[in-house]
Structure 1
Amino acid sequence: MKQVIAARTDLGMGQGKLAAQVAHASLSAYEDTDPKTRKAWKGGGQKKVVVKVAGEDALFELAEAARVKGLPNAIIRDAGHTQLDSGTATTVAVGPGDAEQVDDITGHLSLY
């Protein structure tokens, strides 16, 4: 079991902003999972990997690929209170789910 969170590199988010957006994505996708998946992921250490994507289109492509495979996913849009404009898509979480299925979607991306 694993979860991958992809974050945009083109926005110039500060470290704190990046951490918050990744956390939002992780929790949002987790909340969309069934109880069995939640238990398995939590029992296995809640593996998370953060990767880079170049722009907004890449976020939506990953979310669609996850949807097609039946994996939980969540795109996060910023509220606009600090560094970014309201509604800016910043991150997408894929999973938690079977590590092989998650890797099929995200395995080509570089670590953040």
Structure 2
Amino acid sequence: MSPKQVIVVRDDLKLSRGKLAVQVAHAAIIGYLKSDPGLRKKWLDEGQKKVVLKVGSLEELMGIKYKAERENLVVGIVQDAGLTEIPPGTVTAVVIGPDEEKRIDKVTGNLPLLK
């Protein structure tokens, strides 16, 4: 079993690169803190594999969140504080895992990479 973490971001918000990087960093920490300690250790020992994918809307993002929850995966949401580019409470990203790669791929395997 090889663990990874997937972070799915909203491409429709058109965030600056810096703002987007911060949202992804928030997501990575949220997922790490919510994960099982044994899985966290394995993930850390194996290089902290993570992938950033994109969706085009809040509705798509929440659909991914619900699919991951139905698969009993660790899931977290990033909501922005609203101090710079977007209103407070805006949902910017969902994190899944770290968890088993095959389990996460069932939920996110069809999403495009963020480029």
Query: TM-score, length-normalised on structure 1?
Result: 0.96
Contact (CA 8 Å) 1:21, 1:76: kept in 2 or not? yes
Which of 49, 52, 55 pairs up with 1:50? 52
Contact (CA 8 Å) 1:62, 1:94: kept in 2 or not? no
Contact (CA 8 Å) 1:59, 1:75: kept in 2 or not? no
In the alignment, what sits opposite 1:16? Answer: 18
- Figure out how many residues of one structure are paired with residues of the other and give that number: 112
- CA-based RMSD of the aligned residues comes to 0.8
Residue 4 of structure 1 and its aligned partner are, at CA, apart by 0.7
Letter in 2 for 1:36: G
Residue 67 of structure 1 and its aligned partner are, at CA, apart by 1.3
In 2, Cα distance between equivalents of 1:81 and 1:68? 33
Residue 44 of structure 1 and its aligned partner are, at CA, apart by 1.1
Residue 73 of structure 1 and its aligned partner are, at CA, apart by 1.0
The sequence identity of aligned pairs, in percent, is: 44
Letter in 2 for 1:16: G
> Which consecutive residues of structure 1, in runs of 5 or more, have no partner in the other structure?
none
Which of 89, 92, 95 pairs up with 2:91? 89
Residue 62 of structure 1 and its aligned partner are, at CA, apart by 1.3
Contact (CA 8 Å) 1:53, 1:109: kept in 2 or not? yes
